[in-house]
Amino acid sequence: MNRSSLIGGAIVIASLSLAGIGRADTMSYADAVTALAKDCGADIKKVCKGLNLGNNRIQDCLQQNQAKVSPTCTSTLGQVTASIQQRQAAQTGFFKICAHDAAQYCGGVKGEGNILACLLNSKRVDNGKCNQAITDAGWR
Amino acid sequence: MFVRHLRAGLALGLLLAAGNASAQQLNNQQLISTLSQISKAAPVIDPALLTQEANANVGKGVAGQPNWSQLANLSQLLVEIDFENDSIAIEPKSYRTVGLIADALHHPNLMFYQFLVVGHTSSTGDAKHNLKLSQQRADAITEALATTFAIPRNRLSSVGVGQEMPVDPANPKAADNRRVQLINLGRIK
């Protein structure tokens, strides 16, 4: 092996790991709303009494009453909203991103849950985009 | 699809969180594995008929009604979701439980299945009011799942049964009776 390919390899690895640091990990829905309850629970009970989680009511109420809401809550609300969207996008993206690997390694497998289980067991998926998609979707 | 979850003598109706603190201990894997124990003999349930039976039996109980008595044969679990007093607002401390349900319902093992949320109250207060409030609260849970957590609306239905099906018939006023049943109604047609 010559020297330039070694360096090339090192650069590829370094940029991959940088990309890994730069990309925020997605969070489960449960963890996202747990953060919301922890940092905004008191504010919700104070300024959004009687309102429910559905249809953006809590989000809208906290935003409309930002002056009365703690800065921690406002910042958490933004993170939680972004996190839920990321997780949703990752879960939707899984089928497209993993379609090739699923066809290649899990051809005869029927059922979405079984295909996921097969991909999780397939060592060959380990370093690819599909592997990352499974992690981002929270299905590991 | 779920052959590996199918066992003889399915533990249907597994009680995971009747106690106070234990709702927090629910985890994603438990939810998914409990809810995906599908029996081939599972009855087909029409939520509209459940509502009819509940409305026609206020104060009399529904345990013996034809549709309500079928529910025990479906894959399900009990969760505790707390609401503000006499309100449809879910308490922030129960957001996590709703989020856990959302995580489970989005998982590939369950993503093409329909779920029924059944709201129950204790017998404290007026039976008719309890029935109405439990229906509104069950609706509030499915609304949160369908909007905030992006579960397709056609996978969710909700029914309130008020105080008519106590988990503890000897103590209908006990807090244990306030609970939410999450029931797998089978694969989307």
Same domain, A119 and A80: no
Query: Which of A48-52, B12-16, B45-49, B108-112 is predicted least confidently?
Result: B12-16
Residue at A9 is within a domain: no
Residue A24 — pLDDT band, cuts 50, 70, 90? low
Print the domain residue range for A76: 26-86
pLDDT, tens only, B65-118: 999 999 999 999 999 999 999 899 999 999 999 999 999 999 999 999 999 999
Give me the mean pLDDT over the B50-60 stretch: 96
Chain B residue closest in CA terms to A90: B106
Residue B25 — pLDDT band, cuts 50, 70, 90? low
Q: Is the pLDDT of residue A9 over 70?
A: no
Residue at A66 is within a domain: yes
Q: Which residue has the tokens 């397939």?
A: A122
CA distances in angstroms from A73 to A18, A33, A38, A80, listed in the order given:
30, 12, 9, 10
Prediction pTM value:
0.84
Residue at A91 is within a domain: no
Chain A residue closest in CA terms to B187: A111
Residue at A3 is within a domain: no
- Give kind and range of the element (H or E) at residue A33: helix A29-47
Taken in order B155, B161, B162, B167, is the CA torsion positive or negative?
negative
Residue at A41 is within a domain: yes
For the domain spanning B42-187, the CATH number is 3.30.1330.60
Q: What secondary structure does DSSP assign to A56-93, as a single string?
A: GHHHHHHHHTGGGS-HHHHHHHHHHHHHHHHHHHHHHH
Among residues A86, A106, A130, the one where a domain terminates is A86
pLDDT, tens only, A63-113: 999 999 999 999 999 999 999 998 999 999 999 999 999 999 999 999 999
* Cα B94 versus chain centre, distance: 15
Residue at A17 is within a domain: no
Q: Test A52 with B88 for CB contact under 8 angstroms.
A: yes
Same domain, A108 and A66: no
Listed residue (B179, B164, B156, B177) closest to B83, CA to CA: B179
ipTM of the complex: 0.82
Residues B151, A29 contacting (CB under 8 angstroms): no
Q: Test A139 with B1 for CB contact under 8 angstroms.
A: no
> In this predicted structure, what is the pLDDT of residue A15?
39
> In this predicted structure, what is the pLDDT of residue A60?
96
Same domain, A118 and A81: no
Residue at A7 is within a domain: no
- Indicate the number of domains in chain A: 2
Q: Is the pLDDT of residue A17 over 70?
A: no
Task: Give the distance from residue A52's alpha carbon to the nearest chain B alpha carbon, in angstroms.
Answer: 5
pLDDT, tens only, B154-181: 999 999 999 999 998 999 999 999 999 9
Least CB-CB distance to A34: which of B95, B102, B145? B95
Same domain, A75 and A41: yes
User: Which is higher by pLDDT, A18 or B116?
Assistant: B116
